[in-house]
Amino acid sequence: DGVELSVYRIVQEALTNVVKHAAPSRCWVSVVAEGGDVRIEVTDDGPGRTLPSAGTGHGLIGMRERVMMYGGSFEAGSLPGRGFRVFARLPYGEVS
């Protein structure tokens, strides 16, 4: 289960959550590998939602655990006004 597979699974789960919970008109996905990190951002323009305890759903927990396994950082939450954002940063070798 390398970093590449974790990136894939995080994006997959974030998009699954968008479809299941957000009912957005748009969703944006960004995956950027640069400077020894890979950064993932999935944002939607749905109504947003309040997380009971900073993300206690199984999907969010799984994403957080994948990121923490590599010593990265993870954030998930409603955006001011509207929408929801998942952001993850995982250490990754230099991109050539």
Tens digits of residue pLDDT in 37-65: 999 999 999 887 765 544 556 889 999 99
CA 25 to CA 59: how far, in whole Å?
A: 22
CA 75 to CA 26: how far, in whole Å?
A: 20
State the pLDDT at residue 41.
98
**How many domains does the chain divide into?**
1
The verdict on residue 42 lying in a domain is yes
The confidence band for 29, taking pLDDT boundaries of 50, 70 and 90, is very high
The verdict on residue 96 lying in a domain is no
- Domain boundaries, position 66: 3-91
The verdict on residue 25 lying in a domain is yes
User: DSSP letters along 46-93, please?
Assistant: S-----TTSS-SHHHHHHHHHHHHTT-EEEEEEPSSS-EEEEEEEE-P
The verdict on residue 82 lying in a domain is yes
Decide which of 80 and 40 is more confident. Answer: 40
The verdict on residue 53 lying in a domain is yes
